[in-house]
Amino acid sequence: MAKSISQIQKNKPLSEQVKKAMKKYFATLDDTNPANVYEMVMAEVEPELLKAAMKYSHNNQSKAANVLGINRATLRKKLHRYKIKEKS
């Protein structure tokens, strides 16, 4: 049986990992002023999320888009942006 969103959110392992990674990132900056942190994080995380959804859906873009909660055109645009081949 699939876990519900509320069951997954109770465990929050991903959010804890992000929290730790960002704390470590900011701690290593010293006197450097960070910029475009959101874009940096998304460029690291989003391609892996897209690849995982495509793998889970057996490269079915409609199913992957549904899993991600985005429309198929948006998924195709993101796959193109990150140069992710459909058979990744």
What residues does each domain of the chain span? 39-88
Q: How many C-beta atoms surround the C-beta of residue 25 within 10 A?
A: 13
Is residue 88 within 8 Å of residue 51, measured between CB atoms?
A: yes
pTM over 0.85: no
- For residue 88, pLDDT beyond 60: no
Cα 3 to Cα 7, 8, 10, 63, distances in angstroms: 6, 7, 11, 18
Domain 39-88 belongs to what topology? Arc Repressor Mutant, subunit A (1.10.10)
Please tell me the distance from the alpha carbon of residue 68 to that of residue 54, in angstroms, as a whole number.
Answer: 10
23-80 residue pLDDT tens? 999 999 989 999 999 999 999 999 999 999 999 999 999 999 999 999 999 999 999 9
